[in-house]
Structure 1
Amino acid sequence: MFSSTTCFLFIILSILPKSRTNEAAELLNESDYNGKKFEGFVVGGRFAKIQDFPHSAFLAINCRKQKIFEDFTCGSSILNQWILLTAAHCLEGCKSGTKVLASVGAAKKTKGTFYAVGKFASHKKYDGDIMKNDICLVMLATPVVFGNTVKRIQLTQIGIYNEPAVLAGWGVTNEEEFIDSQYLKSARQVVMTREKCMNMLPNLNKGYLCATGDKRSLQDHGYAAVGDSGSALIVRGTIQIGIVSYKMAAISESLIAYTDVSKYYRWVTNTAKALFCQE
């Protein structure tokens, strides 16, 4: 598909023209998600400017499962002009023929620039029953165009757990009445120690961290809920440390389990290269 030199240098791709698709309106219809897992939207928090979260991308998923199609929405983050990072359960069970659109560059999810997804790769050892290895890369059919409202996220191999974090996503703002929003919202989060996490979620697998809403922040206090799955938990404004994965509502509405991105740095690097260079 690409030359070896191009594959080696794919992370610093040159800027190419943007692409839109007229399938956006059809795919962006809200789904009747059954709540088995957790797509992820921000409850509480505050409305956000896309300039503060330019890495954020909204995913509208028309998932082909055997002979039927199911609609889902998820969040994701921009790794480079071709690759987005999200949760594996967002595309769980999706077969060939699945259609996915990514919206970037706007706080209102229907007003962004839309890009069709060409292919995706979930972790081969992802297990949705015990929530393990919940990570997935999505490759676009055409590259995004970077600008003030569209930028890549940064990853690190070093776990950063003792700094203020923030989550941004689209969707439900009231879980009881299932009130959603077309606009991006953000909420400050506090990353908990592994010990505290395990006290509340004793079956938490390795490769996860957990965080909850920062109660000290009166305006920004909130947490992920239905529609935010796959969204990024970030520190220092540009470094992603987590991917919204799941929560146990019976234990806590606001305690969220995130895939710990630092534990999957090598997987992300190798899988991104394989996707990009795949024949």
Structure 2
Amino acid sequence: MFKFVILLSAVACALAAEVPQGMLPQLDGRIVGGTATTIGAFPWQISLQRSGFHSCGGSVYSANIIITAAHCLQGGVSTSVLKVRAGSTTWNAGGHLVSVAAYKNHEGYNPSTMVNDIAVIRLSSSLTFGPTIKAIEMATQAPVDGAAAAVSGWGTLQSGGFTLPTTLQFVEVEMVSQEVCSSSTYGYGSNVRPTMICAYSKGKDACQGDSGGPLVSGGKLVGV
């Protein structure tokens, strides 16, 4: 079963009252304390764009299907303002920019608890696979506690920041079991639901702009 990611960190990502056009308020975003990388290292990564601005991340599941977070598409956003950029290290240029034909949020998505925060997007035309565009296989079971994983995206680089990096970023994290995640060590308690998965990296955190992006462990997609 696919999992929604809770990223645990020693750094908090503070929300301000105003968010730039296109960028959604942080819910499960990604990169604080990250490192610049290239799309060749994460060829399944895409930028989901709304009205020409990077809004969320996502992953290539097949030539015409993208996996992202449901909250990136909640509120009945029109497909006419959505596009997907694939195959580019930068979110605002290069690669292939494709229109969105349709999308569907998980029927059980709950915006209050973030349960089943996952959605699929169908592209208007198929992507051409190559060194910078590849599908990623979905994991069939959760990684073990302490397993190495990575998250990638174009989210803000500092707590409370609103400036997106042009270049793709990534951070390495460790998987945390649900039992430990809900314990007093992290204090998430009952907020950790069966459809969620936890990961941790000291001094690195989630921020606006990367909701829906991939969490990858062992070469497989284990969460969004």
Query: Which interval holds the TM-score relative to the shorter structure?
Result: 0.7 to 0.9
Secondary structure of 2:165 counterpart: strand
Secondary structure of 1:59 counterpart: strand
C-alpha RMSD over aligned residues: 2.1
Q: Partner residue of 1:83? A: 65
Are residues 119 and 232 of structure 1, via their aligned partners in 2, closer, same or farther at CA, if it must alter by over 3 Å?
same
1:74 paired to 2:56: yes
Report percent identity of matched pairs.
27
241, 244, 262: which one pairs with 2:222? 241
Q: Partner residue of 1:51? A: 40
Are residues 142 and 34 of structure 1, via their aligned partners in 2, closer, same or farther at CA, if it must alter by over 3 Å?
closer
Task: Specify which structure has the bigger relative contact order, considering alpha-carbon pairs within 8 angstroms and separated by 6 or more residues.
Answer: 2
**8 Å contact kept, 2:24–2:72:** no
Of structures 1 and 2, the larger Rg is shown by 1
**8 Å contact kept, 1:191–1:210:** yes
- Higher mean displacement: 90-99 or 145-154: 90-99
172, 175, 195: which one pairs with 1:207? 195
Q: Partner residue of 1:65? A: none
- Residue deviations 1:182-210 (CA, integer Å, cap 9, x gap): 11100001111111211221122211011
Aligned residues: 199
Secondary structure of 1:223 counterpart: coil
Amino acid at match of 2:109: Y
- What are the equivalent positions in structure 2 for 1:189-268 lying under 5 Å apart? 189-199=173-183, 200-202=187-189, 203-213=191-201, 215=202, 222-236=204-218, 238-243=219-224
Amino acid at match of 1:31: Q
**8 Å contact kept, 2:156–2:208:** yes
Give the C-alpha shift of residue 157 in structure 1.
Answer: 1.5
Give the C-alpha shift of residue 31 in structure 1.
Answer: 1.6
**8 Å contact kept, 1:40–1:230:** yes
Are residues 107 and 39 of structure 1, via their aligned partners in 2, closer, same or farther at CA, if it must alter by over 3 Å?
farther
Give the C-alpha shift of residue 110 in structure 1.
Answer: 1.3
Give the C-alpha shift of residue 45 in structure 1.
Answer: 1.5
Distance 1:122 1:32 in 2: 19
Distance 1:137 1:32 in 2: 19
Distance 1:188 1:158 in 2: 20
Secondary structure of 2:179 counterpart: helix
Are residues 201 and 145 of structure 1, via their aligned partners in 2, closer, same or farther at CA, if it must alter by over 3 Å?
same
TM-score by length of 2: 0.82
The answer to which structure has the higher helix fraction is: 1
| Structure 1: 5+ residue stretches without partners | 1-29, 63-70, 216-220, 244-279
Give the C-alpha shift of residue 41 in structure 1.
Answer: 4.2
1:166 paired to 2:147: no
Distance 1:123 1:185 in 2: 28
Secondary structure of 1:118 counterpart: strand
Runs of 4+, deviation exceeding 6 Å: none
The answer to which structure has the higher strand fraction is: 1
Amino acid at match of 2:76: C
Q: Partner residue of 2:75? A: 93
Q: Partner residue of 2:113? A: 130
Q: Partner residue of 2:85? A: 103
Q: Partner residue of 1:116? A: 99
1:143 paired to 2:150: no
